[in-house]
Every structure is written in structure tokens, then in C-alpha cells.
Amino acid sequence: MSSAAFLSPPPEVTLVNAFARPFDGAVAAARTCYSPKGIVTPEEVAGDGAPEAERDRRLARRDSLARDVYAAGHHTTYQHAHFQFALRNVSRQLIWSFLHAHPWYNSEQTSQRYVEVKPGTFAVPPLQGRALDVYRAAAGRQLEAYRELGRLLRPAAARAFFDTFRGRESQPERWEKAIGRRAMEVARYVLPVATFSTLYHTISAVTLFRYRRLALSFDAPFEQRLVVDAMVGEVLRHDPGYAAVLEEPLPFEEMPEARALGRLGACFRRDSSSSAKFRSEFDASLGGYVSRLVDRKGRNEELLAASVRELLGVPAGVVSDDDAIALALDPASNRLLGEALDLTDHSKLSRVLHHPSYTFRKRLSHTADSQDQRHRMTPASRPVLGAYLTDAPDYVTPKLLLGTGAAESLYLTTMVRTWEAIGELRSLGVPDEFQAYLLPNAVALRFTESADLAALRHKHAMRLCFNAQEEIWQASVDEALQIREAEPRIGRWLLPPCGHRARAGAKPVCPEGERFCGVVVWRQDVAAYRRLF
């Protein structure tokens, strides 16, 4: 990895909240497991108030036990302590490929759907000469296209808005902001994944250990190392004890993805015909869906029904399969499904939803998948983005752009010129990770995702809402309809939030308040869903 710094403002990492004595607390938790006295306190572990010699002895014992527990893999003791970071000047690419690519975090991030991106707010890697000129020019064009698309798309966004909210056309000025946001939501597809974001990011000490060990993994090792080193530095300033157990990062060349790609060879990976064949085969396998059901347990409905009867302790003759499934999934019976909180894992009856499972093959843009991956209990095998540095543009086009004339033409031109710039960077010998920063939010990602029914039901309860981003909404519709066709007794209960709340008798039926989509969705069948934007 180069020792140079980014040419853009560096990542800013600030520890804003943490446990008061996280390392002492982790060791106290470990000792409590075997303590005949019960709870061991952090003060005891550190020897607070003891003579200096005794305190030194206890600290040495603390560090020794901490290392032993860590080496043995008993890491739950370290999971008690959490750290809340404020992150600035970090790229969307870093967030997608690293910070949100696992289940063990919580983030609140600036939304590109609702907050305008300012000029110059994107990562510039350590490039020189012609490569730097090409990179900056391409990113500048993408930002210019974003602003111009936001302007050009307003008429189309206004038509779609007032066709949905027919009673609002008499006061167009009142809805300018909402219409502008719809245009901005589509315009953002041309932005590079290098675009900066700001977020709160909270993780446990165990996740920090994992970040440190895999800081040089795909897809953005240069930026990842900067951010992870800053996180570790902030934590060590707060509690130096963690130095006793922190491991060094694994080298990039030891990552399993690097070894696998190395075996294929650079020539094969750059073979445009092989890349085109992969894309063609994958897209054909979708059969016209955004998300296609490709596998499931063969007896999901029977398994779910049997699990309900086991929970209640009744034989099949007392509760039929149909009734058992409805007891778990119909919000009129299981009213917890109409709650604002997801209570699935805290309810004995709802936990039976973990047994049925499904696998989907999906094609989403980078920006849509960045929302999809926030559903952390529906894990996916997302791609190495460097493998998407193809010669031909490969991207998703939002529906609002179709037929818009100048806006659609600008969009297509921007995509072509973006891929041309990436190709020129490649010819200049720029590393894959720095080329990838120019990929637009629209770049098409292809991957497989799996979920059990509990996680999928919750995801659909959020993303079948008409306020959801267009692509993830369409993927959810695809999934719900395919499950209903294969398993109608389960599929009929995959509903948007208003559908669950209407069945459960919750008020108001739409939980979105002023963000109500304008459509009485809870009275429609999923197969009849149509969105104008």
C-alpha cells in the first residue's frame, strides 16, 4: 500500500461515546464467569485504591487473562463495550464495501435521497500527473451532470407527483421541495461512489478487532486502513488497555479474494468477452426480475405449521396447517406484526418464522444495494467491485429518466464518458481500487442473497412501502409475488407496513405521517402495485 495520503480532505474519525472502562469491564466479565463471589467489578480488576505494587500485579493479571481469553476465541466478553464514532469525509464506496458489509454495527448516515451533494465532496486518491487530471475531470463531470439532472428532471418528477397526489396540483409551490427531492433521488445515480458521506457508526470492541484484522481487504484497502487506524487510535486514547490484544492487519495478498483472483490471472479478469458472458448469463437467469427466487426449503409451509403446533403443544388434528400458518403470520392473529418495533425475536410464536428460508439472485445499482444491505439479517455475497471495471458501461437506469429527452441523453452520455475515464486510468496503470472510485452509483451489481422468513417479512414490511427507493421496492415486490406463487399460505402475508397495521387494527394505518405516499396501498393486492416514481 502506498504511504501517500488522499489528495482530498482526509477521513475524520471522532470517538463521541464509549463505556467508561471498557477494557477493565471485559476482563471483569470474563472473571465473573468463574467467580464464586458473583460479580467481579472493573475496579477490582484494575486494583483501584490498592497499593502500587498490588495494582501493578492486578493490571499484569488483567492483561494476561485478556490475552488468554482473546486467543481462546471467547470474544463475547469484549462485546459488552461499544464505541460510537462520528465519521466525516469517508466515501460511499468504503461504507458499502466495508463498514456496512456485515451485521454487527449501527449507522445513521446522511441520505443522498434528501440532502444535496455539494461540489468537491469526493475522495481523491494519491494519483499524479495525467491520471490525476483524468480522475478529477471525470468526477467533476459527474457532479455537474448530477446538478443538471436535478434541474432537468423536475418537470417529470412534478408530473409523477401530481398524478399521484391529484388534490395538490392547485398549490404547486407548496410541493416544490418534495418534487425537488424526487428529482435529486434519480440524479444521484450519476454520482461517483467516491462521494463523501457523514455518519454516526457504532460498533463493539469485537467488531473493531475484526476491522483491524481485515483493514486491507477488498474493496478500498487504502481508505479502510486510514479509517480503521484512526478508530483504533481514538479507542486507545480512551482506554490504552486494548493494546494488549490488538492484532496487526493481515496483508492484502493473504486475503482469500486476492488469492482467488490471483489464480485466475490478470489477463482472464480483463478479458472483456468473459466479463460480457458472465453479465449476459446472469441477467438471462433473472428472467426479467430484479430479484429472482432461485432456492428455498422444499417444505417451508409444512415446516412452519409443524413448528407452531410444537410451540403450542397440540397435534395436527387440533390445528391445521392453514390455521397454524395464519396464527404466526396473519397480523389479525399475531398483532405484534402491526407494531412499530420488530418484536419477532422476543415473541415465542414469532420465532417460528426463522425456520422457512429463501435465496434470491439479484441485480441492483450500487446506491440501491447500499440500502438493501442495511437489512443485516438478509446477508448477501456481494461482489469484488474491481471485477466490475469493464470496458462497456454497465449500469441501472431509473424509470423516471425514461422518455425525458435531454435528461435521459445526459444520463447516457455521462455513463459512457465515466467508463471511458476508468478505461484511461487502467491504461495509465492506476490500481483497481482507485479506478473503482469513479464508478457511478448506477453501476449494476450482481449477487445472491438469502434470508429466513423472519428477516424477509420484516424487510418487506419496510420496503414494500411506496416511499421505499424504487429498485429495492421492485425487488421486494418480485420476491413477495414469487413466494406467494410457490407458497401461497406464507406469501399472502408478505405486506407493506400499512398492510400489517390495517390487519392488526393499528392506528393510524399508514405510519409515515406527512410522508404518506398518497396511495391507499393497504387496500391493494401486491400483484396490482404500480408506482409512478
Query: Within 13 A of 388's CA, how many CA atoms are on the CB side?
Result: 25
Residue 452's SS3 state is strand
Asked if residue 176 lies in contact with residue 184, where contact means CB atoms within 8 angstroms, the answer is no
Location of C-alpha cell 402491526: 338
For residue 385, pLDDT beyond 70? yes
- Residue 145: inside a domain, yes or no? no
Grid cell listed for 238: 480512551
CATH code of residue 246? 3.30.1360.170
Averaged confidence pLDDT in the chain: 95
Tell me the backbone φ, ψ of residue 204, rounded to 5 degrees.
-85, 170
For position 289, what pLDDT does the model report?
Answer: 98
pLDDT tens column, 214-272: 999 999 999 999 999 999 999 999 999 999 999 999 999 999 999 998 888 755 555 67
Grid cell listed for 402: 425514461
Query: Within 13 A of 269's CA, how many CA atoms are on the CB side?
Result: 17
For position 410, what pLDDT does the model report?
Answer: 98
Asked if residue 433 lies in contact with residue 257, where contact means CB atoms within 8 angstroms, the answer is no
- Residue 374: inside a domain, yes or no? no
Give the model's confidence band at 1: pLDDT under 50 very low, under 70 low, under 90 confident, else very high. Answer: very low
Tell me the backbone φ, ψ of residue 364, rounded to 5 degrees.
-135, 155
HEC string for 210-269: HHHHCCCCCCCHHHHHHHHHHHHHHHHHHCHHHHHCCCCCCCHHHCHHHHHHHHHCHHHH
What percent of the chain shows pLDDT beyond 70?
Answer: 98
Residue at 399: amino acid letter: K
For position 271, what pLDDT does the model report?
Answer: 65
HEC string for 380-429: ECCCCHHHHCCCCCCECCCHHHCCCCHHHHHHHHHHHHHHHHHHHHHHCC
Angle between helix 470-486 and helix 453-463 axes, rounded to 10 deg: 130
pLDDT tens column, 54-82: 999 999 999 999 999 999 999 999 999 99
Number of domains in the chain: 1
- Residue 80: inside a domain, yes or no? yes
For position 267, what pLDDT does the model report?
Answer: 56
- Residue 86: inside a domain, yes or no? yes
For position 306, what pLDDT does the model report?
Answer: 98
- Residue 73: inside a domain, yes or no? yes
For position 270, what pLDDT does the model report?
Answer: 58
For position 242, what pLDDT does the model report?
Answer: 98
Q: How far is CA 328 from CA 335, 336, 348, in A?
A: 10, 10, 10
Q: Which domain holds residue 93?
A: 12-109+196-257
For position 24, what pLDDT does the model report?
Answer: 98
- Residue 437: inside a domain, yes or no? no
Residue at 34: amino acid letter: Y
Question: What is the pTM assigned to this prediction?
Answer: 0.95
- Residue 177: inside a domain, yes or no? no
For position 264, what pLDDT does the model report?
Answer: 83
pLDDT tens column, 9-33: 999 999 999 999 999 999 999 999 9
- Residue 459: inside a domain, yes or no? no
pLDDT tens column, 287-332: 999 999 999 999 999 999 999 999 999 999 999 999 999 999 999 9
